[in-house]
């Protein structure tokens, strides 16, 4: 217990250091409001991939159905049937909203004369501010509060308003929402505290709701969640793996929507190099970087959509590491080093995965240090402790 507390204290100090030092080193930032603008290429990529992440503007007092805010579409709102606001102080065109689903915020421009605000910040006529999950938008005079919810829209082109309701998002559930305390202690990586009630999933699933987003889309949700983000800059975001397979296990994800290694093209080279640099920095800033060995790489056939670079310490000391698939995905050629992916892209212009790679997950359990075969996961975990202590 004492050790866990100590560990958490270290982590918090580490996070603070990361905030200042890492930002300096790689030009990254920690306040998502400061994220600089990306190009509009993303919009095209979304259309090409058929993936349509969208925000939903949710009336806090549930006076009307949530309003879908499609990526890069402008939405003018104010007094009228859509919001059911009848207050004369509210203009019919009170605000213009523009969602950037990839970077996780909506731009709010005040068009009306009376003040629109986001939390305590008054936008001001003609001005615009960012609005993120966890914040509250007050349409006018600190009245008519709204929150943002984010989810993947599974029907490209957009669902009709009638059937489009925010749904529960299982992968937005944080570790601390399930058997919280035990998990936090046992996984040795503290889940960040979540004050973002607006972005939390619905607890119940009513018949009129659409089915939940597929689990494989979970990273796209997590990477947008400010409570999950450990680092971010204009190109990438880093989150802690929700089910870490070692004492330190981060994921570096590009803001650009790249579904898998297969989708990588030469134009992604600089992005991949940047992802590796950020991963390297994560390691360098880690208080245990001198004691633990780290590897940076990609799963050849990842379960989760959206390219993500694993930055993982090689202790594999985690209760979340439970089965052969977990083990072999990090200790066989199923795990492709970041530098090898970059080299392959440089050489071939593509990243290919060898036939039979999925079979690597079924290989016998073998210690990653001494290569001795172990019969079961519990025995393997007992065995690797020996290397950890030596």
CB of 275 to DNA, least distance (A): 16
CB of 253 to DNA, least distance (A): 12
What CA–CA distance (Å, rounded) separates 223 from 254? Answer: 9
Decide whether 27 or 170 has the Cβ nearer to DNA: 170
Q: Does 329 bind DNA (CB under 7 A)?
A: yes
Residues 6+ apart with CB under 8 A from 194: 174, 176, 177, 200, 227
Residues 6+ apart with CB under 8 A from 2: none
* Choice from 57, 77, 320, 341 touching DNA (CB under 7 A): 320
CB atoms within 10 A of CB 76: 15
Q: Which of 255, 290, 288 is nearest to 101 (CA)?
A: 255
Q: If you write DSSP's letter for every residue of 42-102 in order, what string do you get?
A: HHHHHHHHT-EEEEEEEETT--S--EEE-BT-EEEE-SBTTTTB--TTS-TT-EEEEEETT
Point out the catalytic residue in the list 274, 299, 308, 310.
308
Residues 6+ apart with CB under 8 A from 262: 350, 351, 352, 353
* Choice from 304, 312, 353, 360 touching DNA (CB under 7 A): 304
CB of 353 to DNA, least distance (A): 14
What CA–CA distance (Å, rounded) separates 337 from 30? Answer: 27
Residue with tokens 């330190």: 248
Decide whether 30 or 330 has the Cβ nearer to DNA: 330
CB of 218 to DNA, least distance (A): 7
CB of 323 to DNA, least distance (A): 6
Residues 218-237 that bind DNA (CB under 7 A): 218
Residues 239-298 that bind DNA (CB under 7 A): 242-243
CB atoms within 10 A of CB 182: 10
* Choice from 176, 185, 273, 322 touching DNA (CB under 7 A): 322
Residues 346-365 that bind DNA (CB under 7 A): 365
CB of 31 to DNA, least distance (A): 29
Stretch that binds DNA, among 30-38, 80-88, 322-330, 344-352 (CB under 7 A): 322-330
183-203 b/e with 16+ CB inside 10 Å = b? Answer: bbbebbbbbbebebebbbbee
Stretch that binds DNA, among 38-46, 86-94, 315-323, 351-359 (CB under 7 A): 315-323
* Choice from 84, 376, 385, 386 touching DNA (CB under 7 A): 376
Please, how many CA atoms are within 13 Å of residue 178, restricted to the half-sphere of its CB?
11
249 given a catalytic annotation = no
Stretch that binds DNA, among 38-46, 213-221, 284-292, 352-360 (CB under 7 A): 213-221
Stretch that binds DNA, among 2-10, 11-19, 26-34, 324-332 (CB under 7 A): 324-332
Site of interaction with DNA (CB under 7 A): 178, 215-216, 218, 242-243, 299, 302-304, 320, 322-324, 326, 329, 365, 375-379
Residues annotated as catalytic (active site), given as ranges: 308
């Amino acid at each position: 217990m004492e050790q866990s507390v100590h560990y958490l204290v270290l982590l918090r100090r580490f996070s603070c250091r990361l905030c200042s030092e890492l930002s300096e080193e790689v030009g990254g930032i920690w306040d998502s409001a400061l994220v600089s603008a990306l190009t509009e290429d993303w919009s095209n990529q979304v259309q090409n991939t058929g993936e349509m992440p969208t925000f939903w503007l949710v009336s806090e007092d549930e006076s009307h159905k949530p309003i879908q805010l499609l990526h890069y579409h402008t939405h003018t709102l104010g007094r009228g049937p859509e919001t059911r606001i009848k207050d004369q102080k509210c203009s019919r065109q009170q605000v213009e909203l523009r969602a950037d689903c990839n970077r996780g915020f909506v731009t709010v421009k005040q068009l009306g004369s009376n003040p629109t605000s986001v939390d305590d910040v008054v936008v001001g006529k003609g001005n615009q501010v960012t609005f993120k999950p966890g914040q509250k938008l007050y349409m006018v005079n600190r009245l008519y509060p709204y929150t943002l919810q984010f989810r993947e829209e599974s029907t490209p082109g957009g669902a009709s308003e009638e059937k489009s309701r925010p749904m529960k998002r299982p992968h937005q559930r944080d570790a601390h929402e399930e058997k919280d305390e035990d998990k936090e202690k046992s996984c040795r990586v503290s889940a960040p505290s979540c004050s973002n009630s607006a972005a939390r999933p619905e607890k119940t699933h009513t018949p009129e709701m659409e089915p939940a987003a597929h689990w494989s889309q979970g990273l796209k949700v997590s990477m947008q969640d400010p409570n999950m983000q450990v680092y971010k800059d204009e190109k990438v975001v880093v989150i802690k793996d929700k089910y870490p397979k070692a004492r330190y296990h981060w994921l570096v994800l590009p803001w650009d929507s790249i579904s898998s290694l297969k989708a990588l093209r030469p134009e992604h080279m600089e992005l991949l190099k940047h992802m590796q640099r950020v991963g390297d920095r994560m390691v360098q800033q880690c208080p245990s970087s001198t004691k633990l060995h780290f590897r940076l790489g990609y799963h050849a056939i990842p379960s989760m959509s959206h390219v993500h670079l694993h930055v993982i310490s090689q202790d594999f000391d985690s209760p979340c590491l439970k089965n052969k698939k977990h083990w072999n995905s990090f200790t066989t050629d199923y795990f492709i080093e970041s530098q090898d992916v970059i080299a392959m892209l440089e050489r071939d212009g593509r990243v290919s995965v060898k036939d039979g790679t999925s079979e690597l997950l079924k290989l016998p359990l073998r210690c990653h240090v001494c290569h001795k075969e172990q019969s079961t996961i519990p025995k393997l975990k007992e065995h690797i402790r020996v290397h950890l202590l030596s």
